[in-house]
Structure 1
Amino acid sequence: VAGDLLDSGNLNKYARTMLRYTKNRARIWGLHNYGDVNRKRSRGISTLLKLVPGEVWLTETGGIVSFDAARGFKPSETAASRAISYMFTLANRFDSRRKGYKSRITRLYPYEFRTKLADARFDAGLISPEGKSRKGYTTFKSKARRAKK
């Protein structure tokens, strides 16, 4: 993976810099798209897909259950479950090359399966610290079964 970028305001700058240093030869890029998924948008994904050639893997994505620094959305188990559903919607929407885009989404890796601490500053676990399945787990399981291969 040439670069593993966050869908934040400086995504464009970082991607262009990495393209320059890889001499435009990199063909696999990673994106942590929490912003897009939890805010129901596609700005970060669209930006990266228009800039980089090859494949984009969603390498760290999912619904956020709790996050001390959350802005623009209110994390909860229900919101995380909705975000996970939207995560699959985005992956399906951009799974083939579109006009004006240089790449497409080919893989999706949720983060994280199980949160270890009940008082963690950041929690995107499909399973609670106590080992119980959350709403997001059920959503993930259902959507993954029906996902395009």
Structure 2
Amino acid sequence: MATALACAVAVPSAANALVVGISDQSPAMFSAPAFRKLNVHEARLTVAWNVAVASSQRGALAAAKRWVNAAKAAGVTPLISFTGNGNYIPTVAQYTSAVRAFIKRFPSVTRYTPWNEPDWVYRSLSRNPLLAAAFFNALVRSCHGCLVLAGDLYLPANQLAPWLRAYNKGLRFRPAGWALHNYYDVRTHTTSQLQAMLKLTAGPIWLDEISGVERRGHWQYPNQSAAAAGRDETFLFSLPRRFPRVSRIYHYQWKALASAGWDSGLLAPSGSLRSAYSVVEHASN
């Protein structure tokens, strides 16, 4: 791996106090009284890799602009994670052109991950960790002075480790940090995903999309109560004390629709606060 830094922006050390953020797509979150009560100044948004160049993405681009503007008005620093748009996986040249257009359109955004969950088994990119690494390299080269995280991975530990080893071989810059979605750890109150990443990487680890989950598909665990998810949240926020390289936790999500297949909201669909909200409130203050 090259010794050149991926980012010239100072990165908080793992020894510093934990930074808490929220990962959510809704700009309305920033003006919500319950959000303003939290001492949270970091938030994450996922956008399609080609949101700034594809005519089919004009609505999504307008939504991203509203989100970024709302975050700025609330004094919140954005982290942008590019992600897939359907089943198509771009070439490195296509990806580079598209993310440069986004960077040009949003010059105030300086924190990025190159691809949300490139190891997601339902997309072909999961079979090509070297291409995912090439997207990281392209984003670093395209955004001078930006903080670019590597990874953004989610696989269970036994699959994460070999995928990450292959990914590492393709990196041409030292990442400013690493992003992980260790949902399996949090649900089972174990640390195998996190320890796999700790073993194979260096530098800060950002859990940039994570939470106790009430309801979701695509995994083996049954739905659970908000109280049980709150206990998972408590476990989650205990991790930085045990593993000091965990420097940031972005809870996902703010509030889900009652009909949504996924619900890990700090607020119930009705708007009432859940027990996980108290955990995040305590951790952020």
TM-score by length of 2: 0.45
Matches within 5 A, 1:45-124: 45-72=194-221, 74-95=223-244, 104-115=245-256, 117-124=257-264
The partner residue of 2:182 within 15, 23, 33 is 33
Whose radius of gyration is greater, 1 or 2? 2
CA distance in 2, matches of 1:71, 1:14: 21
Q: Which secondary structure does the structure 2 equivalent of 1:30 belong to?
A: strand
Quote the offset at 1:69 in angstroms: 4.0
Please tell me whether the aligned partners of residues 27 and 53 of structure 1 are also in contact (alpha carbons under 8 angstroms): no
Letter of the structure 1 residue corresponding to residue 270 of structure 2: E
Number of residue pairs matched? 136
Please tell me whether the aligned partners of residues 81 and 139 of structure 1 are also in contact (alpha carbons under 8 angstroms): yes
CA distance in 1, matches of 2:189, 2:160: 18
Letter of the structure 2 residue corresponding to residue 18 of structure 1: Y
Quote the offset at 1:91 in angstroms: 2.1
CA distance in 2, matches of 1:73, 1:87: 19
Letter of the structure 1 residue corresponding to residue 151 of structure 2: G
Quote the offset at 1:90 in angstroms: 1.1
Deviation sequence 1:39-61 (CA, Å, 0-9, x none): 10000001100100111100111
1:100 match: none
Q: Which secondary structure does the structure 2 equivalent of 1:3 belong to?
A: strand
Please tell me whether the aligned partners of residues 55 and 106 of structure 1 are also in contact (alpha carbons under 8 angstroms): yes
Letter of the structure 2 residue corresponding to residue 31 of structure 1: L
2:64 match: none
RMSD, aligned α-carbons: 1.7
Find out whether 1:4 has 2:142 as its counterpart: no
Quote the offset at 1:73 in angstroms: 5.7
CA distance in 2, matches of 1:44, 1:94: 12
2:274 match: 134
Tell me which moved more, 59-68 or 40-49: 59-68
Please tell me whether the aligned partners of residues 60 and 111 of structure 1 are also in contact (alpha carbons under 8 angstroms): yes
Structure 1 unmatched runs, 5+ = 96-103
Letter of the structure 1 residue corresponding to residue 243 of structure 2: F
CA distance in 2, matches of 1:111, 1:143: 15
Quote the offset at 1:68 in angstroms: 3.3
Q: What percentage of residue pairs aligned between the two structures are identical?
A: 32
